[in-house]
Amino acid sequence: MSYYVTTAINYVNAVPHLGHAYEAITADVMARNARARGESTFFLTGTDEHGEPVALAAAAEGVAPLELADRNAERFRALTATLEISNDFFIRTTDPGHVVRVQEILQRVHDAGHVYLGTYEGWYCPRCADFKTEAEMAPDYHCAIHGIPLERESEENWFFRLSAFQERLEALFDGQGDFVMPRHAYNEARSFLAGGLTDVSLTRKTLTWGIDVPWDEGHVFYVWFDALLNYVTALGYARDGEDLTAQFWPATFHVIGKDILKFHAIYWPALLLAADLEPPRHVYVHGFLLGPDGEKMSKSRGNVLDPFDVVGEFGADVLRHYLLREVSSGQDGPVSLDGVRTRYTTELANEYGNLASRTLNMLERYCDGRVAAVALDEGLSGDFAGLTARVDALLDHAELSSALDEIWRLVRRLNRYVEEHAPWQLARAGDRADELTRVLASLAEGLRLVTVLLNPYMPAKTATLLEALGRPELDQRDYAAEGWGGPVGELAPLFPK
Ligand code: MSP
């Protein structure tokens, strides 16, 4: 099986904030989990560099659009490294490989008769780079998202015959109830579709910062079509001399925020059908991180947390754990530095970190620093039965926070196991050495397994712990019947207080 997961590509008119980090982390957990279970995986992220929002931001700074794009693309690239994101490629829509493929695919769409020349008149938000229908705008012709006045625009555009795909999209939605997840997002897209599709602009004439339309000089492609195509074009040039399209298309998951649902759930599958390509299997729509004011975190509201600062203070794993534990998948959630601190102490230091150090200390003290090759406690293996399959199934439905809850229940179960069996008392009893050996080997195996399953969420700390256990393999995802019989090493506190 192959697994292809993407994030939305980020606009380079602003610098990264925690909302972008959240999306990258989400997709990264899915990619790492897929790799661990042996799927051939490709994970794509990158930057969206054309279009009016970027041109406007560059003009405001008095620099060329590409200069702004170069600078901010580097910030986004640095963010992936800082967050331990395991993307296989970082696309920039100004890459020549992207540009030629966009032209080639949209030429095909043109030649197949899915576009026509017309005049567009409507209300346009330059920050969204989107025309608004009456239903989508705030009172008095304002943008519902940015609160700025919409502009009345009229220009000659090439149109994409979106309306011609009404039935095929209905069939897609009706035949595939998990095309968009979670359900409330599916329902929203389905009711947009039920409202009836109208054709949309594919090109713009008054803008120059975009990809040239090959069949009509003077037009550039509307940024959304250029941007959406990144998911396909990247596969064509991410690896020198190799075309990965046959191996990875259709994408398994596009991970996006709810503000760009229409583009991904409606425009994108229609465009793919027009280009004779398969629609993606799933679109997963996460919620928004909310700032301290309870509003969507966004640069224009000024309520953002800088992910570089948070990672600087706590480390990437702590932020990753916090976001996926704090915010229920598919829902909005408020986040704060205080929240990070609290979960750090209560869960990472006191629960997981403590479990790790006490397990290794007791193995050292009572078992000569070894995990014995003895039959393991069936009581504990019972608690682990089916855990990995449940986690995988939840992640296949993009329920990342529920999967983490499942794993965390077992972290707590292991701490209770220690209390219930009180190895220090077994050691004092003198005649209960076998039981002591078995309890600690069982505990070690339990700790190993939760750590393997936590690895997609906290790649660095878990790798350190697995190394100390002498069992670094990430693909050993079942609770064993017998202890592995090997020495364990030393471990500095994973989450010092
Ligand atoms: N460039 C377009 C996407 C094109 S995809 C073919 C875009 N860029 S963006 O930079 O504005 O947003 C990138 C992603 O970050 C989107 O999925 C968006 O929903 C997400 N987020 C932006 N702010 C967010 C929060 N406050 N919380 C969570 N995610 C948010 O849209």
Indicate if 262 belongs to the active site: no
Burial 381-405 (b: 16+ CB within 10 A, else e): bebbeebbeebbebbbbbbbbbbbe
CB 254 within 8 A of CB 282: yes
Q: Give the integer Cα–Cα distance in Å for 306 and 302.
A: 11
Nearest ligand 1 atom to alpha carbon 227 = 6
Given 142, 262, 299, 397, the catalytic residue: 299
Distance from the alpha carbon of residue 96 to the mean position of ligand 1, in angstroms: 24
User: Who contacts 141 (Cβ-Cβ below 8 Å, separation ≥6)?
Assistant: 123, 149, 150, 152
CA atoms within a 13 Å half-sphere pointing along the CA-CB vector of 109: 30
Strands (E) in 95-251, as ranges, are: 115-125, 130-132, 137-138, 142-143, 151-160, 180-181, 200-201, 203-204, 220-221
The residue among 456, 476, 475, 455 whose CA lies nearest residue 464 is 455
Distance from the alpha carbon of residue 77 to the mean position of ligand 1, in angstroms: 15
Nearest ligand 1 atom to alpha carbon 20 = 15
Q: Give the integer Cα–Cα distance in Å for 418 and 153.
A: 68
Distance from the alpha carbon of residue 168 to the mean position of ligand 1, in angstroms: 27
Name the residue with the closest Cα to ligand 1, atom 22: 19
Indicate if 143 belongs to the active site: yes
Indicate if 258 belongs to the active site: no
Given 296, 321, 421, 461, the catalytic residue: 296
What is the torsional sign of CA 269, 275, 278, 282?
negative
Name the residue with the closest Cα to ligand 1, atom 9: 10
Indicate if 219 belongs to the active site: no
Distance from the alpha carbon of residue 1 to the mean position of ligand 1, in angstroms: 29
Low-confidence ranges of the chain (pLDDT < 70): none
Domain boundaries, the chain: 2-286, 336-487
CATH topology of domain 336-487: Isoleucyl-tRNA Synthetase; Domain 1 (1.10.730)
Given 110, 128, 254, 367, the catalytic residue: 128
Strands (E) in 177-245, as ranges, are: 180-181, 200-201, 203-204, 220-221
Distance from the alpha carbon of residue 16 to the mean position of ligand 1, in angstroms: 10
CB 55 within 8 A of CB 65: yes
Burial 182-195 (b: 16+ CB within 10 A, else e): beebbebbbebbee
If one residue of 5, 6, 7, 10 were mutated to test the ligand 1 pocket, choosing by the most ligand atoms within 8 A of its CB, it would be 10
pLDDT reported for residue 127: 86
Indicate if 128 belongs to the active site: yes
Beta strand pairing status for 289-290 and 282-286? Answer: unpaired
Give the 3-state DSSP-derived string for 60-114, with helices as H, strands as E and coil as C: HHCCCHHHHHHHHHHHHHHHHHHCCCCCCEEEECCCHHHHHHHHHHHHHHHHCCC
pLDDT reported for residue 207: 84
Nearest ligand 1 atom to alpha carbon 297 = 26
Q: Give the integer Cα–Cα distance in Å for 182 and 8.
A: 17
Question: Would you say domain 2-286 falls under CATH 3.90.700.10?
Answer: no
Name the residue with the closest Cα to ligand 1, atom 29: 19
Distance from the alpha carbon of residue 176 to the mean position of ligand 1, in angstroms: 25
Pocket of ligand 1 (CB under 6 A): 8-11, 19-20, 22-23, 48, 227-228, 230, 256-257, 259-260, 288-289, 296-298
C-alpha torsion 186→46→399→454, nearest 10: 180
Beta strand pairing status for 2-7 and 253-257? Answer: parallel
Indicate if 367 belongs to the active site: no
pLDDT reported for residue 439: 98
Distance from the alpha carbon of residue 9 to the mean position of ligand 1, in angstroms: 8
Indicate if 146 belongs to the active site: yes
Task: Give CA angle at 278 (101, 8), nearest 5°.
Answer: 65
The residue among 2, 33, 87, 4 whose CA lies nearest residue 403 is 33
Name the residue with the closest Cα to ligand 1, atom 18: 257
Name the residue with the closest Cα to ligand 1, atom 13: 10
Distance from the alpha carbon of residue 20 to the mean position of ligand 1, in angstroms: 6
Distance from the alpha carbon of residue 10 to the mean position of ligand 1, in angstroms: 6
Name the residue with the closest Cα to ligand 1, atom 21: 19
Structure tokens at 478: 């079942």
Name the residue with the closest Cα to ligand 1, atom 8: 10
Distance from the alpha carbon of residue 55 to the mean position of ligand 1, in angstroms: 18
pLDDT reported for residue 52: 87
Indicate if 254 belongs to the active site: no
Nearest ligand 1 atom to alpha carbon 287 = 28
Q: Give the integer Cα–Cα distance in Å for 28 and 3.
A: 12
Given 17, 50, 254, 461, the catalytic residue: 17
Nearest ligand 1 atom to alpha carbon 8 = 5
Name the residue with the closest Cα to ligand 1, atom 24: 19
